[in-house]
Amino acid sequence: MLSCPRCKEFDYHRSHAKTDYERLRKIIFKQRKYRCHSCGYVGWEKSRSLDKRSVLKTVFLYATVILIAMLVGILSRSFLM
């Protein structure tokens, strides 16, 4: 069980990512958002050490998504003409 860094209460739980920025931060940096119900503190867990494999895996995933989006755009233009 985790305690709040501000008030030291044990009412500190994981919180859902609500914005696109928070979702992206969660995916890329593998961090979780936490909220204290006692004092209202909201914060991110301390950074985990990023290993080379997880960074490369994330970059490859995004590069693949961008490449597929570009190919779909090119193919849709060629079928419309």
Q: How far is CA 59 from CA 21, 22, 66, 70, 76, in A?
A: 17, 18, 11, 16, 26
pTM, rounded to two decimals: 0.51
- Size of the chain, expressed as the number of residues it contains: 81
In angstroms, rounded to a whole number, what is the distance separating the alpha carbons of residues 12 and 71?
45
The domain segmentation of the chain, as residue ranges, is 1-47, 49-81
pLDDT (tens digit per residue) in 4-55: 889 988 888 888 888 988 888 888 777 888 999 999 999 887 665 667 777 7
Give pLDDT, residue 67: 96
Give pLDDT, residue 50: 63
* CA-based nearest residue to 34, from 11, 48, 9, 15: 15
**In the predicted model, what is the mean pLDDT of residues 52-77?**
88
Question: Does 3 score more than 90 pLDDT?
Answer: no
